[in-house]
A and B are shown apart, each in its own frame.
Chain A
């Protein structure tokens, strides 16, 4: 097995204790850091996202794979030049006001980060003004994601999207929404640019939106 395959397999298996050593070995073997990142770490997360979407793996396996990838990225960071990390710009994410659920939001943040965004996580119960403030403070942010689990937070999600539009931020960012009660129809109704049903789909959609923006 090549070193890159070994790295990818280690991420997929979530063997977080082994990844640092393997990435160091790959660097010592002279493999370019950007190749290790893209063909070893990020490609493995693509596989993980697809398996999660297909119901072949569950939340713990996905989280531990993402944690493994992050540890690998930390080893690579000093060797990466020209912004391979965060190559798609920044992604601002938060659970909307009135909702404290974070597991879906956290999963999406991890997947989005694994595709090459720098993620700014605003946390849970985030007022719409805080989303707007964060977008304005980060002009290189191209996509923003709002999450909700409670049906009672759907109004809050609508307000968040409206606040971003009213603040004139639509020329800067695309808005993604998601969460258990959210549907494509609801996303369209409130003026969001995209809806993603799960973390794997969110990662794919975010890259697409960043490219379009």
Chain B
């Protein structure tokens, strides 16, 4: 091992306090030989990066809700609780899952998607408030101006359809029965998202966003290619195109086994995809699509030994030539520290081979 892995908060270790999507933590500071921005460009171009960047070592990372002030994110991530998003949908945070579910038995915003024009209340994109929120975030002790800026954009077309209709069953039925209304709603949503992106970018110079849209179950996609092409693709293209035109890197997140939609993600213009390793053969995807698509390997709580093994294997499977990134999601601070140390050192050694 050429690079020494520094133990957690060891005497003399360099570290800093940063925000992740779900918790602020102390993370190691590395002696980068080139700037994170230059390295990231090399990652994007598959052009000899020096290390695999992460969402916290190389970026400032937050959520769209924090930058717009439109959702209630002030809850304790270790306890089960309800919260309301920017459209007024009520969610329940499940600590064991590290995510939120629509609150069961809560009345949905819409019972019929054909009523979206009458009943959807579009969130107020007050520029003054967004400016204030971005300024406040950028003045926090864990915001580091020398890093690139990244945020979770929030729910895309399918996920928002699910949220306003109160569940996947209702949304899947709507896709089958009211395709035109679903597509029109999704187009309006994407136009809203373009406006939101423009306003945030004005006050939080954005380098990358993560756009969420769950397209799969554990075993296959929710819907087939026909429904993708006729309903979901067009509205998604509106926001993807806008993001790319602004020179922002698009990281696309979807849950589930989505093998059949990888060509759609590439065609839409995703730079990176964040997929569930347990439901997808990421190594095979890298071999098949690695020249057109990058991969984000989520760093999340395991044991130190497990996370080290997982990241080493991840670099071997996904790091070839570049095109690899890691979003630090959350978990025990020491374990994440061990993961970051390993990912930086192992990837440096890997790229020097």
Contacts and interface: CB of A to CB of B under 8 A. Distances in A.
Contacts of B227: 58, 60
A150 B101 contact: no
Nearest to B224: A58
B1 interface: no
Nearest to B222: A59
Interface stretch (A34-42, A78-86, A96-104, A157-165): A96-104
Contact of A58 (B101, B105, B169, B221): B221
Nearest to A67: B173
Nearest to A61: B176
B104 interface: yes
A126 B222 CA distance: 25
Interface string A1-18: 000000000000010100
A124 B173 CA distance: 20
Contacts of A104: 217
A60 B167 contact: no
B172 A60 contact: yes
Interface in B254-313: none
B223 interface: yes
B220 A60 contact: no
Nearest to A17: B177
A180 B279 CA distance: 10
Interface stretch (B91-99, B109-117, B188-196): B91-99
Interface in A192-206: 198
A152 interface: yes
A124 B104 contact: yes
A149 interface: yes
Contacts of A14: 176-177
A106 interface: yes
A6 to B, nearest CB: 20
A59 B217 contact: yes
A103 B169 contact: yes
Contacts of A16: 177
A66 B35 CA distance: 57
Nearest to B279: A180
A167 interface: no
B61 to A, nearest CB: 25
Q: Which of B96, B105, B172 has the largest count of A CB atoms less than 10 A from its CB?
A: B172
A30 interface: no
A59 B97 CA distance: 23
Nearest to A57: B224
B218 interface: yes
A150 B97 contact: yes
Contacts of B220: 55, 58
Contacts of B101: 100-101
A123 interface: yes
Contact of A180 (B104, B167, B176, B219): B219
List 8 A-B pairs, minimum CB-CB distance, nearest first: A180-B218, A60-B176, A64-B176, A100-B101, A103-B168, A60-B172, A152-B96, A58-B224
Interface of A: 14, 16, 55, 57-61, 63-64, 67, 98, 100-104, 106-107, 123-125, 149-150, 152, 180, 198
